[in-house]
Amino acid sequence: MNKIEIKAPYLIFVGSETDPTEAKTGAGMFKWRPELCTGQLVLKSGGLPIDLPLMTIAQAKEAGAKTLLIGTAAIGGGIPDEWLDTLEEALNAGLDIAAGVHKRLNDIPRLCAAAQKSGARLIDVRIPPKNIPVGTGKKRRGKRILMVGTDCAIGKKYTALAVEKDMKKAGLKADFRASGQTGIMIAGKGIPIDAVVGDFISGAAELLSPDNEDDHWDVIEGQGGILHPGYSGVSMGLLVGSQPDAFIVCHHANRTHISGWDDFPLPSIEDVINLTTTVGAQVNPAIHCVGVSVNTSDLNDNERKGYLDALSARLNLPCVDPLKGGTNKIIERIIAEFPN
């Protein structure tokens, strides 16, 4: 699998973004590895997407920053021309640049020239390994739990990281398996599933979660959404290749439509459970949902409790907000259903 080395600490670059959803890479890095983040660099005044101090490149360099980390994940995954002056300035100052967007830093001649001159590195995270095989569908040892979503940018990565943390606290063997650029930056390894050629997505998922001990859990970061109008393909391949024994549906309490596709209503949790079970049963007939993870950031404490209690009663599943109360209710369900 890809292994990257990114020198810390980081200056998180968010360009002109003020929306935390579009700055989810930087926000995720700060959430799970705050000790590695020095500050953020923005090109547009307004609301700050991350709770980090504003810094210029010179200030960040003085504070010890080693890498400018591109913290955006906008639709299309590009590097706008308006960023190039800033990125070149960072390279000239000796900062490495790390990016997980689809556009590769090493394909931009201007940046390559600046990096060669200063000795700084251009680190493209979203490059899958070579020679990925077609998926086999063969059963592998070990246990697997996959995060699936009613939409993108809804908490699949955060849920997987919280589940791994709470599983280990409960004495279970568990490892987070990163399938996206931010997860790879956090974990230090993984496969960017959405950058894999379509025929090989399920094979990449098999590589991401290989044979393991019978009582070991791979906690697999989900991608896209199985009913998403743009990204269902990557979700389907990841599901089939992962062969999960269990899955968690990730949802946003107040979201009504697919983010960025306003003509498409958000699918119901029940629809996602039913389709995930039907498709996943091709490679693991025992697959089933063990809980729901909900982003309730728009609700107050009383509203949150009422929402989660009502949803749990409706679905007969443990429903949690992993950032507000942890995932222990789901972990208890997993221990009860998978005693070995």
Residue 327 CA, chain-centre distance (Å), reads 17
* E-state strands within the chain: 2-3, 10-15, 37-42, 67-70, 96-99, 122-124, 143-149, 173-177, 189-190, 216-220, 246-252, 288-295, 319-320
Better pLDDT: 153 or 280: 280
In a domain, 27, yes or no: yes
In a domain, 166, yes or no: yes
Q: Is the distance from CB of 103 to CB of 75 less than 8 angstroms?
A: no
In a domain, 8, yes or no: yes
Lowest model confidence (mean pLDDT) among 18-22, 96-100, 183-187: 18-22
Number of domains in the chain: 2
Lowest model confidence (mean pLDDT) among 37-46, 160-169, 280-289: 37-46
Whole-angstrom distance, CA of residue 114 vs CA of residue 214: 49
Structural domain containing residue 46: 2-124
Same domain for 78 and 156, yes or no, is no
Q: Is the pLDDT of residue 18 over 90?
A: no
**How does residue 303 score in pLDDT terms, banded at 50, 70 and 90?**
very high
Same domain for 244 and 318, yes or no, is yes
Same domain for 86 and 170, yes or no, is no
Instruction: Locate 56 and state its tokens.
Output: 């210029």
Same domain for 174 and 316, yes or no, is yes
Same domain for 116 and 179, yes or no, is no
Strand order in the sheet with 143-149: 173-177, 216-220, 143-149, 246-252, 288-295, 319-320
Same domain for 165 and 98, yes or no, is no
Lowest model confidence (mean pLDDT) among 75-79, 93-97, 123-127, 314-318: 75-79
Same domain for 87 and 195, yes or no, is no
User: Residue 31 has what pLDDT?
Assistant: 85
Same domain for 76 and 163, yes or no, is no
**CATH code for the domain in which residue 42 is found:** 3.40.50.720
Same domain for 118 and 158, yes or no, is no
In a domain, 138, yes or no: no
DSSP state of 105: G
Q: Is the pLDDT of residue 2 over 60?
A: no
In a domain, 135, yes or no: no
In a domain, 132, yes or no: no
Better pLDDT: 205 or 76: 205
pLDDT, tens digit (0-9, with 9 covering 90-100), for 195-208: 899 999 999 999 99
Q: Is the distance from CB of 212 to CB of 218 less than 8 angstroms?
A: yes
In a domain, 156, yes or no: yes
* E-state strands within 150-227: 173-177, 189-190, 216-220
In a domain, 130, yes or no: no
Q: How far is CA 257 from CA 152, 232, 324, in A?
A: 11, 15, 24
Same domain for 173 and 215, yes or no, is yes
User: Residue 17 has what pLDDT?
Assistant: 75
Same domain for 266 and 309, yes or no, is yes
User: Residue 100 has what pLDDT?
Assistant: 84
Q: Show which of 93, 124, 155 is a domain's final residue.
A: 124
